[in-house]
Structure 1
Amino acid sequence: MLLFYMIAVIIVGLDQLTKYLTVQSIPLHETIEWIPNLVSFTHHRNTGAAWSILEGQMIFFYIVTVIIVGIIIYYLHTYGRQDKLFGVSLSLIMGGAIGNFIDRLFLQYVVDMVRLEFIDFPIFNVADMALSIGVTLMIIYLIVDEYKNYKQKKVGH
């Protein structure tokens, strides 16, 4: 159980560190090329979610984040111990949600910095990466779990 909370804390720490370094090192809206035509770093402020949806709706984000983190803690304690993939996916989602929540709470926007140069995609941060990876792992877990249940039912008949 402690491992899952440690993963979330590490994600929050990395997220806040990279945001701090971005704010200190890159002027707002400036871009630093890292890998040409692939990845650059851009200091960006986002008052919404991905693609700036629900821009400026901070109260909504506060409420949703608190509810989601509460649900994640419940599931970590009730089901997280039963499957590591499920627990890790919840940990990544929780760490990402808390990382962006900290920005919204104290800054009223989220600091984003990673820009993919080869595709028209929103600028994102470590918290966003953790959320995306966590959701992907959750989908994998659900597919595998459903397949296991299907196999058990098939064998039982």
Structure 2
Amino acid sequence: MPILLLGVIAAAVIVLDQWSKQYVQAHMLPGMSIPVLDNIFHITYVLNPGAAFGILENQQMFFIVIALVMLGLTVYFFKQIPKNFILMRLGLSLLSGGAVGNVIDRVQTGYVVDFFDFRIWPVFNVADIAIVTGVSCVIYTLVFMSFPNQNQENSR
């Protein structure tokens, strides 16, 4: 999967995330909830000053630094990921797009806009979906794919 396509995927995540957040902000007030499937799925406008489950509230600089370090490491090491590790490359592009989407919120307002509410789980957004999906792809690759052994390649 070419790096340009992965950049497009990350950019698409950022655009979809920011558009969806702006739409919610333009049509709802914080705390407002619209049932889609009553008591199962709602669109609920939440301003989240923390991370998942509201942990580390008001630690915006910490989250921004972590996201920027992760993005820097991803860009730096991306060339070293074998080209056939498509799922890992896709996962990193989703993770990067999601991280940037949430960092934009944190820089602009000091909180993240969340709105998907399944009532049995904390409210989340498009960037969070991309981050979880991306991390899942990376973990799957690390657990189930075999990496080339550099010692074997160097001895040939």
Q: Structures share a fold, TM > 0.5?
A: yes
Displacement over 3 Å in runs of 4+? none
Q: What fraction of aligned residue pairs are identical, expressed as a percent?
A: 35
Question: How do 1:26-65 residues align onto structure 2 when only pairs under 5 Å count?
Answer: 26-65=28-67
Alpha-carbon separation, structure 2, partners of 1:59 and 1:37: 35
Counterpart residue type for residue 2 of structure 1: L
Alpha-carbon separation, structure 2, partners of 1:82 and 1:76: 13
| Aligned residue in 2 for 1:134 | 134
Structure 2 gap ranges (5+): none
Alpha-carbon separation, structure 2, partners of 1:20 and 1:45: 13
Deviation of 1:27 (Å): 1.2
- RMSD of aligned Cα (Å): 1.8
- State whether residues 80 and 86 of structure 1, in contact with CA within 8 Å, keep that contact through their aligned partners in structure 2: no
Question: How do 1:4-153 residues align onto structure 2 when only pairs under 5 Å count?
Answer: 4-79=6-81, 81-117=83-119, 119=120, 121-146=121-146
Structure 1 gap ranges (5+): none
Alpha-carbon separation, structure 1, partners of 2:80 and 2:141: 16
Alpha-carbon separation, structure 2, partners of 1:72 and 1:88: 12
Deviation of 1:72 (Å): 1.3
Alpha-carbon separation, structure 1, partners of 2:130 and 2:55: 19
Deviation of 1:80 (Å): 5.9
Counterpart residue type for residue 133 of structure 2: I
